[in-house]
Structure 1
Amino acid sequence: MTRRTVLRAVGVPLGVAALVAGVGAAAGLWGADPEPPPAVATVSWEGVLTAPTTAPTPADPTPEAPAPAPEPSAPAFDLTRHSTTDPTSPWVVVNKQHPVPAEHVPPDLVDVAPGVQLRADVAPDLAAMVEAAAPAGARLGVLSGYRSYRDQAATRAAIEARRGFEHAERYSARPGFSEHQTGLAVDLGSGTQPGCDLQSCFAQTAEGAWLAEHAWEFGFVVRYTEANTEVTGYAPEGWHLRWVGRDLAAYLHGAGVGSLEEAFGVPGGPVYAGG
């Protein structure tokens, strides 16, 4: 028996029967439900179209912020910019293993005090340093600068005669092995305690203390200290300064490097070349 026959048998008019039969088929009232295609509108009993429902689209994930670019590192200080063996170089290393030729005379000596000469590049920084020290109560005097090979021989002989060979070996270079011959080294005195000039007590004067803290700002290093004696081969001399230029002096100070030998990897020590 068909669905139309059943509806007619129960007294349903044919027009309504057709509608009910169609809706029943669509609603699955008579047998297995056909599988509707997704998102297709259906008809309610009132004949109103029902809007299809779809699953909501998931929100896009929040994009991660890009990692910040690394800051560029500062370039390494170039320790090969100047020679450490050329006696005219501002970075020449002179010690008991590395002498200066006996005939060497700096080509650009200028007067910095009565009877005292230094290389022309050194003079402005020395003047600036002496001027800067005065307001702090450090009255710096310039005692000696450039010495020729012959001058150094006379200086060494006088110290040896007065204090003996062993003392001279610790405090005074043999001729040809002195930084003073380069015109880059200067001995400074104390205006507040002149009795400590060229003496170990200079380190305790106002001038010695100021130089230990500030000399690097003007391109100088206190060349011989308690900490570097084994490397340089000399006893501490707070009055003996060596000009190397402001850039290298700032690098040595910032890096905590205690001597030119350590900075450049140059041998030193208390023994002279050749014995």
Structure 2
Amino acid sequence: MTWIYHNGEFKSRDTIHVDIEDRGYQFGDGIYEVFRIYDQQLFEVDAHLQRLERSANEIKMHLPVSRDTLARDMHELVQRNDILNGIVYLQVTRGVAARYHGFPSSDVPTQMVAYVKNMPRPTEDMQQGVNAILIDDSRWLRCDIKSLNLLGNVLAKQTASEHGAFEAIQHRDGTVTEGSSSNVFMIQNGKVYTHPATNLILNGITRLKVLKLCQQLQLEVYEKSFSTEEILDADEVFITSTTSEIMPIKRVNDQDIGPGIPGPLTVKLQEAFEKEIQAV
């Protein structure tokens, strides 16, 4: 049986139903997190839950349980489903209420659901590198909130797919922000650059881990914006996310990045990240 976490209880999948007036369904009025599972252990669970709490605060929504309780319940969900390597998807919406743009009354309970999914690590892509394209960033201005409003990201990812690319690297008036579902890093002359954690990007958990690894490896790292011209001229480019980990970009817009293979500093960071996984 597949177990689902629903409003604090563990239930079988076929008993879970979404109400047509759930505000997540009608408005995208909710937030979510995706946790990586390595050897049945959740990776960076505290960081994910801190970000979930921040997202909730930013949209003026109260989480129904504490971070400690959620961490315990997510671990139990993994164990109940006997998932070795995969993800946990956790979503919270503002609840079920008659359709009205304003918030429902405070006595309407939030709706929380989580499920697990087998997902192997993308080892081959991480070894060989992947392609990306550059596109305009047409999303809203609160990308720092991990909300359910992902249509802009979906359209960007679809555009990448239609061009045979793994990811769409977005930019605002020529300034690179982030990928459709990832953060973007550039390496030039041994220095690592990534867009600062403003409202224009999601402050990724893997992004934060990479910043720490750069410090440990004594790499110069700058949270500083860079242009589309600079990324095309970079020595190395990689993206980060919970599911893609540290993914080298070997080509952008049909132009090779460096020699068109994963660069030495990217590989060094991958090796350091691997040690972090093994230490979970």
TM over 0.5: no
Structure with greater strand percent: 2
Structure with greater helix percent: 1
TM-score of the superposition, structure 1-length normalised?
0.21
TM-score of the superposition, structure 2-length normalised?
0.21
